[in-house]
């Protein structure tokens, strides 16, 4: 059932004339601020979509209902029936039990131990595969976008938190049981602020979009960011990626806050390069999409400075190409890979 914050319109679909064909596969992306569902045919042509605010503060039970509603409205937009769905791939934030399909912990939603795969299987009567949302995005970029078919692709997606993921030799890199590559929870400042999980000085505690917005709001309050104060104000809910990008063009203080965050992210990426030697580092998320020319070079410079001399120049740092579609396409494609064995 649709609600008022759904923003799909009939004119927004990718392919009105597509049918169910050999079956429909759903890609779903659960984020800290929004959830997004897309229906794809066998060639990954878009049939329909729907998105709405996550409203994680309402709790996991209400959240699962919203997920189901979003998928149903996506199917309605695609003009196909639920019986045509042959699989659902869902990218979810935080640590996930990949075999059981359980969302273990989400730092920015507060949900714990949610058996999402089981609940979706019961609702839609089809196979469901869960993976970390950034893993889904990186897999999408590996299969369809900026890291296409490279041997090792590292993804870093600054958003409400900072997500990380990796595709290695065509497969999502994972632990024996859980998803991994939680780069946002790497400690970078032992005296820094605490994250949503209570850990002090993690990467996302000092450099996530939420932290950047908080620092920008403080700069505006102090009179150091007059453009931001005039156009947006100091309410964190209103200080989104576009507002930060606009402010960075006028307020030196906000621009410096963004560059400082990019330097910290890049330094951390350089450390990961020393461990994994990726071919490509893909930067994604709304913050990067809004300011690629500012953030990507800054992250690259810091990463190269932090990497061992032997590893400098062997990796690229690039912006993601697929935008919001990276995670949904990646989740759907990963579900297909798992189903095909």
- Report, as an integer, the average pLDDT of 297-314: 96
Mean per-residue pLDDT, 283-303: 96
Is residue 1 assigned to a domain?
no
Mutual orientation of helices 116-124 and 60-78 as an angle, nearest 10°? 40
d(CA 130, CA 26): 12
| Structure tokens that stand for 293 in this block | 């020319």
What's the pLDDT band for 187 if we cut at 50, 70, 90?
A: very high
- In angstroms, what CA-CA distances link 339 with 81, 87, 89, 167? 21, 8, 10, 18
Q: Higher pLDDT residue, 270 or 19? A: 270
Q: Is residue 154 part of a domain?
A: yes
Over residues 101-109, the mean pLDDT reads 84
Query: Which tokens in the block code for residue 332?
Result: 């759907």
Measured CA to CA, the distance from residue 205 to residue 292 in angstroms comes to 22
Report the pLDDT value the prediction gives residue 32, as an integer from 0 to 100. Answer: 80
pLDDT score of 45 more than 60:
yes
Position 127 in a domain: yes
Asked if residue 22 has pLDDT above 80, the reply is no
Neighbours of 222 (CB within 10 A): 10
Residues 253-258 have a mean pLDDT of 98
User: Is the pLDDT reported for residue 207 higher than 70?
Assistant: yes
**Of 7-21, 33-47, 258-272, which gets the smallest average pLDDT?**
7-21
> Token pair 């798992």 is at which residue?
338
Tell me how far apart the alpha carbons of residues 44 and 42 are, in angstroms, rounded to a whole number: 6
| C-alpha dihedral (67, 72, 73, 79), degrees to nearest 10 | 150
Strand partners of residue 202:
187
Which pLDDT score is estimated for 21? 52
CATH number, domain of 92, equals: 3.30.420.40
Q: Domain check: are 207 and 282 in the same one?
A: yes
Same domain, 61 and 82: yes
Same domain? For 191 and 117 the reply is: no
Task: Judge whether 42 lies within some domain.
Answer: yes
68 & 157 share domain = no
187 and 65 in a single domain? The answer is no
* pLDDT higher than threshold 50 for residue 4: no
> Considering the domain boundaries, does residue 18 fall inside one?
yes
Do the domain assignments include residue 24? Answer: yes
Q: Which residue has the higher pLDDT, 269 or 55?
A: 269
State the residue for tokens 């990726």: 278
* 156 plus 132 within the same structural domain: no
Residue pair 283/319 in contact by the 8 Å Cβ criterion: yes
Q: Strand 24-30 vs strand 34-40: parallel, antiparallel, or unpaired?
A: antiparallel
Distance, in Å, from the CA atom of 54 to the CA atom of 57, rounded to the nearest integer, reads 9
Q: Check whether residue 168 and residue 293 sit in a common domain.
A: yes
Find the domain containing 94 and state its range.
Answer: 10-138+324-340
Distance in angstroms (rounded) separating the CA atoms of residues 324 and 328: 7
31 pLDDT tier (thresholds 50, 70, 90): confident
The band of 172, judged by pLDDT with boundaries at 50, 70 and 90, is very high
**For 75-100, what is each residue's pLDDT tens digit?**
999 999 999 999 999 999 888 899 99
11 Cβ contact list (under 8 Å, min separation 6): none
Tokens of 35: 């959830």
Say if residue 107 is in the same domain as residue 181. no
Q: Hey, what are 273's tokens?
A: 């390069």
pLDDT at site 197: 82
Q: Is the pLDDT of residue 213 over 80?
A: yes
272 close to 142: Cβ distance less than 8 angstroms: no
Same domain, 119 and 227: no
Does the pLDDT value for residue 220 go beyond 90? yes
d(CA 63, CA 61): 5
The C-alpha atoms of residue 145 and residue 325 are separated, in whole angstroms, by 10
pLDDT of residue 148: 92
d(C-alpha 5, C-alpha 70), whole Å: 11
Residue 3 lies in a domain: no
In a shared domain, residues 105 and 155: no
Residues 289-298, mean pLDDT to the nearest whole number: 97
Asked, for residue 59, whether it belongs to a domain, the answer is: yes
Give the number of domains in the chain: 2
pLDDT more than 90, % of the chain: 82
Task: Enter the tokens of residue 126.
Answer: 């089809």
Residues 161 and 129 occupy one common structural domain: no
Task: Calculate the average pLDDT of the chain.
Answer: 91
The answer on 188 and 66 residing in a single domain is: no
| pTM (global) more than 0.85 | yes
């Amino acid at each position: 059932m649709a609600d008022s914050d759904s923003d799909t319109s009939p004119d927004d679909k990718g392919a009105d004339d597509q049918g169910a064909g050999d079956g429909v596969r759903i890609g779903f992306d659960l984020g800290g601020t929004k959830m997004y569902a897309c229906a794809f045919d066998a060639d990954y042509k878009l049939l329909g979509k729907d998105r709405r605010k996550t409203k994680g503060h309402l709790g996991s039970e209400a959240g699962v209902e919203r997920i189901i509603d979003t998928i149903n409205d996506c199917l309605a937009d695609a003009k196909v029936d639920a019986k045509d769905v042959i699989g659902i791939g869902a990218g979810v934030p935080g640590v996930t039990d990949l075999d059981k399909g359980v969302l273990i912990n989400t730092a920015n939603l507060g949900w714990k131990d949610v058996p999402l795969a089981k609940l979706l299987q019961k609702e839609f009567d089809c196979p469901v595969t869960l993976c970390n949302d950034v893993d889904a995005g990186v897999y999408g970029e590996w299969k369809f976008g900026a890291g296409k078919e490279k041997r090792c692709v590292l993804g870093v997606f600054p958003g409400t938190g900072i997500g990380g993921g990796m595709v290695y030799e065509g497969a999502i890199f994972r632990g024996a049981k859980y998803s991994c590559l939680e780069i946002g929870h790497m400690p970078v400042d032992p005296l820094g602020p605490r994250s949503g999980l209570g850990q002090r000085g993690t990467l996302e505690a000092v450099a996530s979009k939420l932290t950047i917005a908080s620092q920008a709001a403080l700069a505006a309050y102090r009179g150091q960011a007059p453009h931001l104060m005039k156009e947006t104000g100091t309410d964190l809910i209103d200080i989104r990626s576009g507002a930060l990008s606009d402010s960075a063009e006028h307020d030196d203080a906000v621009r410096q806050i963004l560059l400082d965050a990019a330097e910290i992210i890049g330094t951390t990426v350089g450390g990961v390069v020393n461990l994994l030697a990726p071919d490509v580092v893909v930067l994604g998320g709304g913050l990067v999409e809004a300011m690629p020319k500012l953030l990507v070079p800054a992250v690259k410079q810091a990463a190269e400075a932090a990497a061992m001399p032997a590893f400098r120049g062997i990796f690229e740092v690039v912006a993601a190409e697929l935008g919001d579609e990276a995670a949904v396409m990646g989740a759907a494609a990963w579900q297909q890979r798992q189903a095909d064995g």
